[in-house]
Amino acid sequence: MHALMKSAATILTILALLTPARADEGEKLKSGYDYAVPATQAFQDDDFAGPALVFLEDGEAAWSKVDGSQGKSCASCHPDPAVEMKGVGSAYPKYDAASKKPISLLQKINRERKDRMGAKAWSWSSPSLLGISAFIMAQSQGMTFDINIDGPMEPFFNKGKKLYNTRNGQLNMACKHCHSDYADNLLRGNVLSNGLANGFPTYRLGAQKLVSLHTRFRGCEKRLRAQPFKLQSDEYVNLELFLKWRGRNIVVEMPSVRL
């Protein structure tokens, strides 16, 4: 009897060690680009006159613009963004030891402006902030997302995953209903996408300007008649963390154009 228990314990231990620490979601995911109609894709692919380019160029120009009490620009500390910012944007949200929680790219930009440049934080939906963030993301163009969800990040990741799977609003839907369970189905005239974050801040055709991921969250939640969280709230940073991990193998697209 004792021998049987021992071998059972051995087998179970071996099985436990062989099991991956976190199973993949198992979803077949596609970029929003693949869900877009050809005309929208053409807007994104247009290297000469695409509608997102002017915002990207503004972001690039802002990189060298002096701002704040220290008389610095981004370029003062980062003179070669093509090299120094490569793979940087695609690693956010990251764990921030100072605040003991994940920090998004937009939050990091404003923190650097305040701490190093003595400049005022931009509002979360300001064209200046979105332009610079698009420029940073463009340096990670074509790269997968390098998102760490282990150690101190794990509880925040779990909260984000929970929010993704929780029904909200008078219409009583969770993100997962449209973007996982019923992706590829027609909602009125549009095919439901996987709701990934790889193209943000994206140029939205209706808004005719760059739109941040959290603004998109708010819009979705209001459509469900749910009370949305604030831009750059903990809830939305956690959700962003989950989404970027979920879609980590779908590469960064910048510029990107979406409906």
Q: Just list the catalytic residues.
A: 220
Contacting residue, 11, 14, 37, 171, with other proteins by CB under 8 A: 171
CA distance 247 to 256: 16
CB of 144 to other proteins, least distance (A): 30
182 binds other proteins (CB under 8 A): yes
167 binds other proteins (CB under 8 A): yes
177 binds other proteins (CB under 8 A): yes
Contacting residue, 75, 143, 192, 205, with other proteins by CB under 8 A: 192
Contacting residue, 10, 166, 207, 230, with other proteins by CB under 8 A: 166
Contacting residue, 26, 38, 189, 206, with other proteins by CB under 8 A: 189
Contacts 24+ apart (CB under 8 A), 81-89: 81/135, 81/136, 81/139, 82/139, 85/136, 85/139, 85/140, 86/139, 86/140, 86/143, 87/139, 87/140, 87/143, 87/146, 88/136, 88/139, 88/140, 89/133, 89/136, 89/137, 89/139, 89/140, 89/252
CA dihedral 126, 132, 136, 141 (to 10 degrees): 70
Looking at 57-65, 97-105, 165-173, 202-210, which segment touches other proteins (CB under 8 A)? Answer: 165-173
Contacting residue, 50, 51, 87, 169, with other proteins by CB under 8 A: 169
219 binds other proteins (CB under 8 A): no
Q: Exposed, middle or buried by CB within 10 Å (0-12, 13-18, 19+), for 99?
A: exposed
Report the interface residues with other proteins, using CB under 8 A: 166-173, 177-178, 181-182, 185-189, 192, 222, 225-227
